[in-house]
Amino acid sequence: MRLPFETDEGIGTRATLGLIVLQTDETIETEFARLMDIDGLALYHSRIPMQPEVTSETLKSMQADLPASAALLPSSADFDVIGYGCTSASTVIGPKGVAEAIQSVHPNAKVADPISSIIAACDAFDAKTIAFVTPYVAEVSARMREMIENSGRKIVAFGSFEEGDDRIVARIKSNDILSAIERVAAQAECDAIVVSCTNLRTAGIVDVAEQRIGKPVISSNLALAWNMLRLAGIRAKETGKGMLFQL
Helix axes 28-35, 220-231, angle to 10 degrees: 50
Q: Please tell me the predicted confidence (pLDDT) of residue 55.
A: 83
End-to-end CA distance of the chain: 53
% residues pLDDT > 90 (the chain): 89
User: Strand (E) positions, 94-214?
Assistant: 110-112, 129-134, 154-160, 192-195
Q: Please tell me the predicted confidence (pLDDT) of residue 117.
A: 98
3-class DSSP state for residue 17?
strand
Q: 194 pairs with which residues across the strands?
A: 132, 218
Helix and strand element counts for the chain (H, E)? 11, 8
Q: Please tell me the predicted confidence (pLDDT) of residue 56.
A: 85
Q: Please tell me the predicted confidence (pLDDT) of residue 149.
A: 96
Q: Please tell me the predicted confidence (pLDDT) of residue 188.
A: 97
How far, in Å, CA of 19 to CA of 221, rounded? 11
How far, in Å, CA of 41 to CA of 238, rounded? 14
| Contact predicate 27/221, CB 8 Å | yes
Residues 107-124: pLDDT tens digits?
999 999 999 999 999 999
Residues 4-52: pLDDT tens digits?
999 998 999 999 999 999 999 999 999 999 999 999 999 999 999 998 8
3-state helix, strand, coil in the chain (%, to 5): 45, 20, 40
Phi-psi category of residue 40: left, alpha or beta, with phi > 0 → left and psi -120 to 50 → alpha? left
> C-alpha angle with apex 204: 201 to 209, nearest 5 degrees?
95
pLDDT in tens, the chain (247 residues): 999 999 998 999 999 999 999 999 999 999 999 999 999 999 999 999 998 888 888 898 999 999 999 999 999 999 999 999 999 999 999 999 999 999 999 999 999 999 999 999 999 999 999 999 999 988 889 999 999 999 999 999 999 999 989 999 999 999 999 999 999 999 999 999 999 999 999 999 999 999 999 999 999 999 999 999 999 999 877 778 999 999 8
What single-letter amino acid sits at 175?
N
How far, in Å, CA of 231 to CA of 228, rounded? 5
Q: Please tell me the predicted confidence (pLDDT) of residue 92.
A: 92
Q: Please tell me the predicted confidence (pLDDT) of residue 106.
A: 97
Question: Which residues have C-beta within 8 Å of that of residue 42, sequence separation ≥ 6?
Answer: 10, 11, 12, 15, 16, 17, 77
Burial class (CB in 10 A: 0-12, 13-18, 19+), 126: exposed
Q: Alpha carbon of 40 to those of 33, 75, 109, 229, 231: distances in Å?
A: 14, 19, 18, 12, 16
Question: Which residues have C-beta within 8 Å of that of residue 157, sequence separation ≥ 6?
Answer: 130, 131, 132, 184, 185, 186, 187, 188, 190
